[in-house]
Amino acid sequence: MNRQTQVRKVLYEKYMEQLIHERMNMLGRLFLEMSAFEILEGTQEMDVIFGDSGEDSPMA
């Protein structure tokens, strides 16, 4: 394998590593946002179950 091919291979591997890292971060943020939304949605469902009008609710 010549020098130029080796350099290209290393650059490609670094690029793929960075891309995977960015995608994992993006998925992590999406998971956190979805979790926060599900928690909020669950709180609202409990308000309905327990008859809370929401006026004194900390989420209001």
pTM: 0.52
Per-residue pLDDT reduced to its tens digit, 1-39? 799 999 999 999 999 999 999 999 998 888 888 887 777
Q: Which residue has the higher pLDDT, 52 or 41?
A: 41
What are the structure tokens assigned to 35, written together?
């979790």
- Listing DSSP states for 1-60 in one string gives --HHHHHHHHHHHHHHHHHHHHHHHHHHHHHHHHHHHHHHHHHHHHHHHTT--SSS-TT-
